[in-house]
Chains A and B, each alone.
Chain A
């Protein structure tokens, strides 16, 4: 019981602090008329600019260094990284104005932006950066999925505005990884619990970001107000209301009734509803560039797929266009390569495999899998061509896609057995490479392609294990290790080109589609621009003009 009471106390304190902070913000606002001088009319309009959105889940405690139950999007819009992830993977300054990398590629020195204040008025400086790094590194296990965390040897405050991170080894994606949503974002010093460890909880969400949490009812609503002291371009709207609506259909209804102004995200409404809204003509709909990939991992280590010809036959046998359009109504985009060409280093000009049942059939014939007279499943040495595909059972997209692929493969004489499992059991099958085909997704921007290659060469995920049937596997995996250590851009591109080419030619993945973020909104919402980062949101750039 003690625990519960503690929580309650924490939330009361939280509310108190927030309201004090809010009061503080408002008074500074009134006290400095210069900032509001620019244009009285726009300012007046601004006061009425409220954007209401919905999210399937509660935003969580807004702890920048924690995972569930924090929602990615909320942490992403609320806290800021040292480096931002821009279009095409270009790295842009955020809280760090600039950065240098030492000759040996191990020491990263960040020149922090000056005159940045947290919402409680405290300064953003190297000491608070150190404080954040301390707690993150104290909980290394929690964050070990992120390569750079386990590479950090030490961190150092050089002066108030200079901060250095030393890595154990060269690791080029370090910079990209400083852009991720969690855990490398910064909480104000007063937000830390007394022991300085944020693994369990924080005192209050103090940020440098463009928004301040001003009202919060768990599982119901969260209200963010524009941070008028924000160092960067201030949002055009001044209030953002996030309503928790768990169900997709209810979200659609809320938009139709005008209760919310925007539906945004990945898989937030059913694909059928998206099309219905688009075709209604009442709303603007848009789809972002590829943010991640959906693919099948082909297990080369055992069974029929040990044979390259069978793998190639698979590439030609699946009608991806019909599959992706049919199941996702065009919300996802057909994928020809495992990593979309809009990702860094991924535009290497690979030739897509075309959908061609005849090619697939002749490849299978060449592999020795012949279709006996009067039967519909191919055989070789008296064994039927049977393949097992593992997918996430309850998934609303994987499940119908699996059924469609089953029918496609039937056309060429392959009997596909579908095994829909819930997450844990599917993960178990993946880790032990106990599958022929497995539905899988990449991490997406900003993690790829470097994260993709590390999941390929590191044993334990099941991907490395599934590539054991490749004759050039050692060379391939060595290239993957090397590429992460490169400091030279051309060398890096060369290695990536080679890696992507091998993966493509060896057909170890069947790329299916690229995931996208969607947005549906009435026409008074303007300037909606999708961020390149998968988990970030467009709320600080869009505008409302009623």
Chain B
């Protein structure tokens, strides 16, 4: 098992390295001199001397590859540089905002799973009946509703009209309800349909037919045998989605004024705070890779055959 894990981790290294290069390249594509952007957010008038000083300070005067290697080396020490705008280390700035974003992402994932699993089961068991139609319409809506618009609909109906939820902020758990629903909506659509399809395929498998013939109640069959198989595409999708989910928080945090990483990133975009942009993009790539790795692990756990083969390997 550990060998398998190690191999999976190792395949991630070149991908992460590539992603870091893409991040680094970002800064080279800019029409605005990063040193000038730095001076501008620091309220310093750009002159020849100040520009030279800043270039030296930021290492912009060094050759391209030397800069990249230096940057990578700093990354390895978890040093993402210093924000142009706040003048604090990017790592600590992001770390301070991570809890809000993580909480938002995981509560969305939780809501999505809690709603989509029963929905998917119901849709599969009552194929082409009311429940199935409802889940299908939901799926279409989930795929077609712009996230930011859904957020405003929720704000309008749930917070402004009904006053059930606070408009904005992230002080208590209740602040997370509307943003999490916003993010979960598209996921519910995907997961419930994936689960439904998985279940329908499974229900036709011989072992299920056999279990049914043995007179096991369909509830037990579903719970114990079928779900285990049918949920696997959902696990993969959830793992793959983690990066995307974090990305979705950019828009949602902005709308609900939550002090998370996404909002911080967006602010950095408008300030041209390059170290923050680079650091955030890199962290997102890491989250994405971590997500797919975790999904693989769970996948392996759920599939006894895979587990066994790994056991032999390890």
Binding site for B on A (CB under 8 A): 1, 3-4, 7, 66-69, 141-142, 144-145, 200, 218-219, 244-247, 249-250, 253, 394, 422-425, 427-428
Contact = CB atoms under 8 A, between A and B. Distances in A.
A487 B18 CA distance: 64
A48 to B, nearest CB: 25
B311 interface: no
A4 B259 CA distance: 20
Interface stretch (B42-50, B135-143, B184-192, B197-205): B42-50
Most buried by B among A1, A247, A425: A247
A423 B89 CA distance: 23
B276 to A, nearest CB: 12
Given A1-B79, A425-B32, A246 B44 contact: no
Contacts of B36: 424
Interface string B8-50: 0000000000000000000000011000110011111101011
A66 B88 CA distance: 13
Per CB-CB distance, the 10 closest pairs between chain A and chain B, nearest first, are A247-B257, A250-B168, A69-B86, A67-B43, A4-B92, A247-B168, A424-B32, A246-B257, A141-B50, A3-B89
Contacts of A3: 79, 89, 92
Given A141-B49, A253-B167, A394 B41 contact: no
B247 to A, nearest CB: 20
Given A1-B77, A244-B259, A249-B168, 15 more contacts: A1-B78, A3-B79, A3-B92, A66-B87, A142-B42, A142-B43, A144-B44, A145-B44, A245-B257, A250-B166, A250-B168, A250-B169, A423-B40, A423-B270, A427-B40
Nearest to A254: B169
Given A68-B42, A250-B169, A424-B40, A7 B88 contact: yes
12 contacts: A1-B91, A4-B89, A4-B95, A68-B85, A144-B44, A145-B45, A218-B96, A247-B167, A250-B168, A253-B168, A422-B270, A425-B31
A217 to B, nearest CB: 11
B174 interface: no
B193 interface: no
A7 B92 contact: yes
B96 A68 contact: no
A249 B272 contact: no
B134 interface: no
B43 A145 contact: yes
Contacts of B79: 1, 3
B53 interface: yes
Contacts of B263: 246
A249 B50 contact: no
Contacts of B168: 247, 249-250, 253
Contacts of B49: 141
A1 to B, nearest CB: 6
Nearest to A182: B43
B45 A144 contact: yes
Contacts of A424: 32, 36-37, 40, 272
Contacts of A245: 169, 257
B87 A69 contact: yes
B44 A4 contact: no
Interface of B: 31-32, 36-37, 40-45, 47, 49-50, 53, 77-79, 85-89, 91-92, 95-96, 166-169, 257, 259, 263, 270-272
Nearest to A8: B92
B50 A68 contact: no
Contacts of A144: 44-45, 47
A500 B50 CA distance: 33
A69 B85 contact: yes
Contacts of A66: 87
Contact of A68 (B37, B86, B257): B86
Nearest to B89: A3
A244 B258 CA distance: 11
B42 A67 contact: yes
Listed residue (A424, A425, A427) with the most chain B CB atoms within 10 angstroms of its CB: A424
A462 to B, nearest CB: 13
B89 to A, nearest CB: 5
Contact of B167 (A7, A219, A249): A249
Contact of A4 (B50, B91, B169): B91
Nearest to A394: B270
A394 B266 CA distance: 12
B189 to A, nearest CB: 29
Nearest to B54: A141
Contact of B259 (A69, A246, A394): A246
Contacts of B40: 423-424, 427
Contacts of B47: 141, 144
A4 B94 CA distance: 12
A219 B32 contact: no
A252 to B, nearest CB: 9
A60 B46 CA distance: 24
Contacts of A1: 77-79, 91
Contacts of A246: 257, 259, 263
A245 B89 CA distance: 23
Contacts of B37: 424
Nearest to A141: B50
A26 to B, nearest CB: 30
A503 to B, nearest CB: 23
B165 to A, nearest CB: 11
B92 A68 contact: no
A4 B85 CA distance: 17
Contacts of A244: 259
Given A394-B270, A422-B270, A68 B169 contact: no
B41 A68 contact: yes
Nearest to B39: A141
Nearest to B37: A424
B259 A219 contact: yes
A249 to B, nearest CB: 6
Nearest to A60: B86
A536 to B, nearest CB: 19
A270 to B, nearest CB: 13
A68 B43 contact: yes
Contacts of B50: 141
Contacts of B272: 423-424
Contacts of A142: 42-44
